[in-house]
Structure 1
């Protein structure tokens, strides 16, 4: 038997994964917590010409120019008014940093391996490649996003400064 200290560390580390849960309308999504750099209140974004609708523009984050993507638009949802709960989740995608506009952040989920289900097969013509799976925590179902596939080339526009 291990000491109480090693038991506590095992419970803290666990075998699961942690996800930052957030809302878009009535739907709940999660992104790997290790990919999240920070969460910022919604602030001024400088629009860029000739960009896809989901690209809202760029913002200055401590001297770095960061592209900002509206996840509602990216996922094909209708646009909504930004509120006091609207936030920008700043994530790392490869070596780049991207801001994701979401309706609100809920909490941090600890997802054990047996609580993570594969993304459902919705048939031909329905792209679910941006999903890593579905987390089932209690009565909640949270869509776990594959941020690399979802954001893809969102950070590709050349931002010559």
Structure 2
């Protein structure tokens, strides 16, 4: 099952155009931790399906999927962030995100929801301090918890951003 996201029209009439961060985030869990990514980076949310493993892949590499004629690398987000590797099974989700002209898949346990954060909901991520290589760019306070917003270029430095 694949669920392409639908974006609301902007006031300037440019539907679905990648723009500045929107303060809207897709939240999800990987391992036992909650994370989020900017909604404008998310291209697709799909149910897990077996991947084709490639030789010499990184520890987090699950393999590749053919998504409508495009080969997409899939990585285990929990393993990327130092946690236990997931044992992919039905019920897991591949979150396909865009990094420039390249799409990358992240294997996660489940997608939670879409949240909107007000400016005063943001918190600095400890240790990030404006460091562009930090895997967490900032935190968002949502109810009684903090959600780590991932810095996708830092997570996938090997992906070309052209």
Q: Which TM class, normalised by the smaller chain length?
A: 0.7 to 0.9
Aligned length: 138
Q: In the alignment, does 2:48 pair up with 1:42?
A: yes
Q: Detail structure 1 runs of 4+ shifted over 2 Å in the superposition.
A: 80-85
Quote the Cα distance in structure 2 between the aligned partners of 1:119 and 1:33: 19
Contact 2:77 2:107 in 1 (8 A): yes
**Take 2:127 and 2:32, find their aligned partners in 1: how far apart are those partners?**
22
Q: What secondary structure sits across from 1:47 in the alignment?
A: coil
Task: Give the CA deviation at 1:132.
Answer: 1.2
- 1:52 equivalent in alignment to 2:76: no
Moved more, 16-25 or 27-36: 16-25
1:96–1:112 Cα change, 3 Å: same
Would the aligned equivalents of 1:119 and 1:128 in 2 still touch at CA under 8 Å?
Answer: no
Which segments of 5 or more consecutive residues in structure 1 lack a partner in the other structure? 1-8, 10-14, 157-161
Q: Does 1:29 align with 2:29?
A: no
In terms of fraction of residues, the more helix-rich structure is: 1
**TM-fit CA distance, 1:128:** 7.3
Alpha-carbon distance in 1 for matches of 2:63, 2:31? 22
Change in Cα spacing, 1:16 to 1:44, as seen in structure 2 (3 Å) is closer
Distance 2:139 2:154 in 1: 16
Question: 2:108 is matched with which residue: 84, 88, 102?
Answer: 102
TM-score, L = length of structure 1: 0.79
Q: Which runs of 5+ in 2 are unaligned?
A: 1-10, 12-20
State the shift of 1:79 in Å. 1.7
Alpha-carbon RMSD across the aligned residues, in angstroms, is 2.1
Contact 1:17 1:111 in 2 (8 A): yes
Q: Does 1:68 align with 2:110?
A: no
Q: Look at both structures and tell me which one has the larger radius of gyration over its CA atoms.
A: 1
1:82 shift after superposition: 2.7
Q: Does 1:142 align with 2:151?
A: no
TM-score (norm 2): 0.79
Deviation at 1:81, TM superposition (A): 2.6
Comparing 128-137 with 55-64, greater Cα deviation is found at: 128-137
